[in-house]
Each structure stands twice: as structure tokens, then as C-alpha cells.
Amino acid sequence: MNQAEIEDLLLGIPVSKVYCYQTVSSTNDLAIEWAGKGALDFTIVIADHQTRGRGRYGRSWFTPPGAALAFSLILRPREKYENIKPASCTALGAVAVSDVLGRYGLTPQIKWPNDVLLNRKKVCGILTEAQWVGDYLQALILGIGINIAPSSVPPKESLNYPATSVELELEKKVNRYQLLKDIISQVRTWREQINTPKFFAHWEQLLAFKMENVLVTNGEQTIEGTLVGLTPNGHLRLRLALGLEREIVAGEIKLRPAK
């Protein structure tokens, strides 16, 4: 689809502008650039192919041509004190993607903090980046990558967590631009309710590995416990041996089922 066709498709939903590219390094890079030049709230940067798609902590995100949905949404705090932080922005994206995939009859789950799973395999990764001027948050860049066609799934050897694609799980083709439209509308809907008890309850309901034994690793230390749910501010609650509870803050951690 070209820019005009995508703009046409998105006509029904309030989007400020769409920047559509064939090949980019990373849509987040471009979105940061456009945000720096004053792009408005709900500007979308989308690409068919990313040569340097990235995940958290500089890890790479595989986006071959024509096979995935890779886009970044610029969100501007609408008022100085709108309470939208990078972590809640990531949750906003994960919840919106999960809701939309759920409408296709799939059962998505959120691998806290930033991945969406189908059948316990990663189908979507989210990277939120913030642009600050001093201590004033200028913009949040919500980068979403979804594996659509089977060819968007990276080779097994390059992964340390299994991956899948929407079409592999659904066993039929999907229109990635329709998916884009539905996700953007769902982000709009939940943004109005971000950080409300309703939002946290819905997010918690979507968590993968709930009441299962999991391992949480930060590179140096691994903790094992039962994943109980979320704290009221979106941290992960782990119940350790002896019934003690530990609150896990999103950082460079890896979450895995224990078995």
C-alpha cells in the first residue's frame, strides 16, 4: 500500500499524519526525528521493511520486506501533567494489540512488560522511547512490530524465545493495514483510560504465565516465583517461597516460564 491508500484506509479515525516508507533503519528513529520537527499527537510512521529494527537495550528486531507490520506512533502529552509514562505507553500498546488479535479469534497474552504472545510464542514486540527537553516530556514514541506472514518470523537460531506470526496461528491471510487501523483505534480508546483501575484490571487479565512458576532474570540474578499479577502501578508481583512477595520493575529483565 502506498501513502495515499493508507491515509484513505485510516480516514475514519483521527490520525494527524501518516509517514509511509518502503525501507527505513527503524520507524522509531524516523518518528523521533519527526517528533523533533514538531509532528503532532497521533502521527504515524510506518515502513514495509526495517534494516535496523530494534528492541529494548539495542537488541535487534527482524522486519523483512512485505511480511510484518512495523510502525511507530507519536504521542504527545496533551496537557503538561497527562500521566502517560513510557511503561504505561508500552502497556497501552500491548493491550491494544492483544484486544485486536482477540477479535480474530486468537488468544493473545502479554509477556510482561513488552511482548505479545500467541500460543506462548512471541508475535509482537513493543519499544517505547521518550523524548525529553529538560524534565518536560515532549513526546512518546510507541513502536510496535507484529509478525504477520510466516516469513516475518526470524530463524530459530537467532532467537532466545520462540516466535510465531499471526498468519501461522490463524492459518489464513490477514490484511496488515486493517490490523494497523484497528490497533490505532484501540490505542485511542484505552488512552482515555490509561492508569485507571479498569485499564490495570484488563492488562492484568491479559498477562501470560499467571499463577505459573516463572523465572525472572536480570543478567546477574535469577528469581523464581509464582506470577501473581500486577501491582496498582503496573509492576509485576511474584510470590516467592515462604509466601513473600517481590515487586519487579520493568528494566533489563527476562521473564520465562520455569519449566
Question: Which residues are near ligand BTN by CB under 6 A?
Answer: 26-28, 50, 53-56, 59, 61, 70-72, 114-115, 125-127, 143-145
Q: Which does 161 bind (CB under 5 to 8 A by kind): ligand ATP, ligand BTN, none?
A: ligand ATP
Q: Are 258 and 215 in contact (CB under 8 A)?
A: yes
Q: Using the rule CB under 6 A, is 64 a contact of ligand ATP?
A: no
Given the rule CB under 6 A, which of 72-80, 100-108, 146-154, 240-248 is the region that contacts ligand ATP? 146-154
Cell numbers found for residue 125: 514486540
Q: Which does 163 bind (CB under 5 to 8 A by kind): ligand BTN, ligand ATP, none?
A: ligand ATP
Outline where the chain has alpha helix (H). Answer: 3-9, 27-36, 86-103, 166-170, 176-191, 197-205
Number of residues that bind ligand ATP (CB under 6 A): 18
Cis ω for the linkage preceding 162 (within 30 of 0): no
Q: Using the rule CB under 6 A, is 114 a contact of ligand ATP?
A: yes
Q: How many residues does the chain have?
A: 259
Q: Are 177 and 185 in contact (CB under 8 A)?
A: no
Q: Are 203 and 234 in contact (CB under 8 A)?
A: yes
Instruction: Name residues whose C-beta falls within 8 Å of residue 157's C-beta, 6 or more positions apart in sequence.
Output: none
Beta carbon nearer to ligand ATP, 15 or 68: 68
Q: Which does 254 bind (CB under 5 to 8 A by kind): ligand BTN, ligand ATP, none?
A: ligand ATP
* Chain residues in the site for ligand ATP (CB under 6 A): 55-56, 59-62, 114-115, 122, 125, 147, 152, 154, 159-161, 163, 254
